[in-house]
């Protein structure tokens, strides 16, 4: 699903909400989430999942084209952990569980 499809679905689902208003709502939510992650805050949406920033340690990498080793510096990356309800929807009961 794209952001545009999400806006269309929201405007159809909420009576009296125009596509322009739905666009403003969706963009505001994404902007608030982006700002929170940018500050290092954790975002938790019950039933869906949580977003947080994790720090990757510096390491030695390799240029795949030349094979030369390069130093990869420490960096922060966004991480998503799926919530229990979403996991159950994606993997319904009876599906083989991972070890």
Average pLDDT over residues 33-37: 96
Range of the domain at 61: 3-90
CA atoms of 22 and 10, how far apart (whole Å): 6
pLDDT range class, residue 94, cuts 50, 70, 90:
low
Tell whether 95 is covered by a domain.
no
Instruction: Give the torsion sign (CA, 87, 90, 93, 94).
Output: negative
Tell me how far the alpha carbon of residue 15 is from its chain's centroid.
28
pLDDT range class, residue 93, cuts 50, 70, 90:
confident
Tell whether 36 is covered by a domain.
yes
Count: domains in the chain: 1
Token pair in block for residue 80: 């998503």
pLDDT tens-digit series, residues 37-90: 999 999 999 999 999 999 999 999 999 999 999 999 999 999 999 999 999 999
Tell whether 63 is covered by a domain.
yes
Residue 61 in contact with residue 72, Cβ under 8 Å?
Answer: yes
Token pair in block for residue 24: 């403003």
């Amino acid at each position: 699903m794209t952001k545009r499809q999400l806006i269309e679905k929201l405007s159809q689902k909420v009576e009296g909400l125009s596509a322009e208003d739905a666009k403003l709502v969706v963009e505001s939510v994404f902007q608030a989430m982006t700002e929170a992650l940018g500050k290092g805050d954790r975002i938790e949406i019950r039933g869906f999942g949580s977003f947080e920033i994790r720090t990757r340690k510096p390491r030695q990498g390799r240029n795949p084209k030349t094979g030369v080793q390069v130093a990869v510096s420490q960096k922060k990356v966004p991480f998503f952990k799926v919530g229990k309800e979403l996991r159950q929807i994606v993997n319904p009961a009876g599906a083989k569980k991972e070890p």
